[in-house]
A and B are shown apart, each in its own frame.
Chain A
Amino acid sequence: MKRGVSKRIGSIKFACLSPEEIRKMSAGKIITADTYDDDGFPIEMGLMDPHLGVIEPGLRCKTCGHKVDECPGHFGSIDLAMPVIHVGYVKEIKKLLQATCKSCGRLMLNEEEVKSFRAKMDQYEELGHDTTDFKDLAKDTAKGAQKQICPHCGTEQKKITLDKPTTFREDGHKLTPKEVRERLERIPDEDLDPLGIDPHSCRPEWMVLTALPVPPVTVRPSITLESSDRSEDDLTHKLVDVLRINQRLRENRDAGAPQLIVEDLWELLQYHVTTYFDNQTSGIPPARHRSGRPLKTLVQRLKGKEGRFRSNLSGKRVNFSARTVISPDPGLSINEVGVPEEAARELTVPVNVTAANIEALKVLVKRGPAPAGELYLPGVNYVIRPDGRRIRVTDKNAETVAETLEINFVVERHLQDGDVVLFNRQPSLHRMSMMAHTVRVMPGRTFRLNLCVCPPYNADFDGDEMNLHVLQSEEARAEAMILMKVQEHILSPRFGGPVIGAIHDHITGTFLLTYRNTKFDKGQALSIISKMPQIQLPTPDIVEKGKEYWSGKCLFSTILPKDMRLTFKASICEKCNVCKKDKCDKDAYVKIRNGQLLSGTIDEKAIGSFKGKILDKVSRDYGSDKSREFLDNVTRMAIGAIMVRGFSTGIDDEDIPEEAKRQIEDMLKTAIDKVESLVEAYRNGELEQMPGRSLRETLEVEVMGVLGKARDDAGKIAGKHLGIENAAVAMARSGARGSMLNLSQMAGCIGQQAVRGERLSRGYWNRTLPHFQKGDLGAKAKGFVTNSYKSGLTPTEFFFHSMGGREGLVDTAVRTSRSGYMQRRLINALEDLKMKQDGTVRNTADSIIQFHYGEDGVDPTRSVNGEAIDIDDILAEVLGEDEAELLAKIEEKKVGGYATVEKDLMETGEEDMEEVGEETDFESGGEE
């Protein structure tokens, strides 16, 4: 026997229940509509019959003799006085009635037609059609069998219609369920096959019920309220209705009551049975509870988001999990997660007791469930004996339990440093949303994580909560360590670049450390280097007046792999026409040789998430262990550097001289005048129409151009006075946070506000606000904001700005809901796809979806910009430093490559998104 597997499911077959089967599996007939007697005991033959299972602890089941949780519950049955149609099968019944003869019951097809159907079926089988195709085929056959005259006995057929939901009519004449059942009984077994029905699993007459199974009480438990009143389950309520009407119908029929009364009761029974199955059948009013709430019957239990499938079978609640607020800790490795002591004492790991660990575990058990002391020590909550008995360890019994500990016991010990857990943040949109971390138990009440793992989880610390799951088996831990550890997910399968990387202050930190000729004395250098225990202080590279100094580049080089060679342009690069390479006066040309940073600044392009070139190179060439080490070191070094230098920003970073303010003002005035003259020209009909645009549209385009340029110019004027030594600019240029656009809006001018990409126009009749003339087409009247965030907005400007801002908010709200639904549909379609060993992508039915994974069989995670190998890199390695030529080639190649194109698109897209995101950031923060 395979360990842990006691039974294996070979196949599952769904079929109809025959009345015989219903009676056979019944533990007892249910006759009375009453549930409990006056003393509160269940009535025999009633809906709460003790033969149907037990729900009260202490009692035993009268059928199997087991107690609660051991007895699975047993079905009962109700014999219906008159047959009733099953709502779930009306479509099939209609199909069968229409396709078969009313008198002889044969399928109205001649032999050839049947034969051609069988041939078609065989072909479908061979060519591998899916089940819906078979269903459609059977439907077509049934359609083809709707004839005027039966080919077998020659009886003339009448038209059968379905009066929703359960009434059949023949030429307007009502067919009782009894008649329907008789007709279905007449259909011979052989004629069912062409209709797609297997007579052994489902005879058509079983679709008209003569007996109703009563689900076990365990399926519909009654609850006792505090007032000791019993409240019954919705299903029980419905069954009471069925029983009551069934009883009355039987009495009336046996007493020979008038036909009309019997028919009325029959229809009432049909209604109750129908709503018992599905209480949302169209065409009939839903059965309601006394309070007016519609009852939740069988179909409602299964269907939809809150139904059995989506909420209990596809998704379950789990044990050994925790959820709390997250907060940052740059001291942790990216692989680690800080777990509060309180949570660690609840979350446990099962440990098998062996000869090797019994003594150590005894010590653990002795500590009990809450070991005292300053230092966190793992204790034990439960000890499980080989017979499955769980012993709760308490402070009182800890000693004795420890003594009785034997080999083969299982000890559930508290979480301790180094345990493997899964860490997750919703929405789990990609595989990086759930990664394995190792535990670090620490004081406090939040989960702590390294800032570099924020981008893959899309987490921030404005109140975000995350989930943690403790792995319970050795296999699970091994799998998680190999496949799910954070360090294995640094490269994204989406575009083959790093998703985990430095953000915000880390980038600012390395920027300040490496930009231009920074130098640090021994104390400073030590305080930076000492953040990383395994790194030695390098030999000083600057000696001035007999004192030793270390350059920032020298310090940064200590964490680079010793043989690294890399060349790229930093994000502060201004993209000059002729690149001066290592002589770059902006220090934007990053050159690393033999693991030494020779020139250039380390900023977002080097270590940032999504873009970091060094990260990319390290994880590709040196493996995940090295890249984890590198990232851990980068975070620590950056924090060290930024703490030595000190860093702060505020609105006074956007201070510009009076002179510049005046310049901007003048420039804006000329721009507004220019708009005015454009409007004038438009009014006089002197404006030259642009091709494909109306005159009015031409004006709008021109105006937008003038005003857009005006804003940019304002930004440029302001930018002249904001050098890179300015903290805000340093952040924007290095890619740590904010953009130059944000800065120019703070210092210079906010610019044109737009809704749907057009200047503001709606509000009052022919004007945006009553502060303006009707029909005013000037800049200020249509939402141009000349002020900056710093100078403050006028009331009208503020209103316009809110209009533009509102559009952004609405857009994000709409976008998230829509993309969430799209994601769900996409995942449902793709979840079972898998690449097989021959390189094909197949689903679980083993049908081919893609003949060669991605058409080239390359895993994007391991590719270089979408190519299987990085030829330039290999050339450089083999041919040596023949770089000028090589770089030229790199430049040439920029166009090609699928992934490069994709990546470029993504990068630009992200910038757009950020603009929107930035504005909404603080708003959404409040909601958390």
Chain B
Amino acid sequence: MVETPQINVLEHNLVPEHRLLSKEEAEQVLAKLRITKDQLPKIRKGDACIRVLEKIYGNIEEGSIIQITRKSKTAEVAVAYRLVRG
């Protein structure tokens, strides 16, 4: 893929806030939801948001969990989690 000068998609109005969870936080989330990793919704490692996050955190391994904080029409703020996959 040709690397072109890109805008930071996370700064776009329509893109919700993405945050990489630390190992401890990830475990807490799984414990809170009482699920295993495989039950989480997925996000591609090649996703534009993940690529931006990689510029901050360095390589994001598959199996990491991303926290997405959205503005919601019904609940004002809604938190969701995504599992990074290949």
Residues on A lying within 8 angstroms of B by beta carbon are 123, 125-129, 838, 840, 842, 845-852, 854-858, 866, 898, 901
Contacts and interface: CB of A to CB of B under 8 A. Distances in A.
Given A856-B75, A898-B74, A849 B37 contact: no
A595 to B, nearest CB: 34
Given A128-B83, A849-B41, 6 more contacts: A126-B38, A127-B38, A847-B38, A851-B79, A852-B75, A855-B72
B35 interface: yes
Contacts of A125: 38
B85 to A, nearest CB: 6
Contact of A848 (B39, B70, B79): B39
Interface in B50-80: 62-63, 70, 72-75, 78-80
A847 B41 contact: yes
B78 A838 contact: no
Interface of B: 33-42, 62-63, 70, 72-75, 78-81, 83, 85
Contacts of B63: 123, 126-127
Q: Do most interface residues of chain B lie in helix, strand or loop, or is the interface mixed? A: mixed
Given A848-B33, A849-B41, A855-B72, A127 B79 contact: no
A128 B63 CA distance: 10
A829 to B, nearest CB: 14
Contacts of A847: 38-41
A127 B37 contact: yes
Nearest to A843: B39
Contacts of A126: 37-38, 63
17 contacts: A127-B62, A127-B63, A127-B85, A128-B39, A840-B33, A847-B40, A848-B33, A848-B39, A849-B41, A850-B80, A851-B79, A851-B81, A852-B75, A854-B74, A855-B78, A898-B73, A898-B74
Contacts of A848: 33, 35, 39-41
B74 to A, nearest CB: 4
Contacts of B37: 126-128
Contacts of B75: 852, 854-857
Interface centre among B33, B63, B74 (most CB of A within 10 A): B74
Contacts of B42: 127, 129
Contacts of A901: 73
A128 B74 contact: no
B50 to A, nearest CB: 15
B16 to A, nearest CB: 12
B83 A127 contact: yes
Nearest to A899: B74
The 3 closest A-B pairs by CB, nearest first: A128-B38, A856-B75, A898-B73
Interface centre among A128, A129, A858 (most CB of B within 10 A): A128
A129 B79 CA distance: 23
Nearest to A137: B86
B39 to A, nearest CB: 5
Interface centre among B37, B38, B62 (most CB of A within 10 A): B38
Given A126-B63, A851-B81, A856-B75, A838 B34 contact: yes
B74 A856 contact: yes
A855 B41 CA distance: 15
Nearest to B80: A851
Contacts of A898: 73-74
A588 B49 CA distance: 54
B85 A858 contact: no
A626 B26 CA distance: 50
A856 B72 contact: yes
A849 B63 CA distance: 18
Contacts of B33: 838, 840, 848, 851
A854 B73 CA distance: 10
A866 B38 contact: no
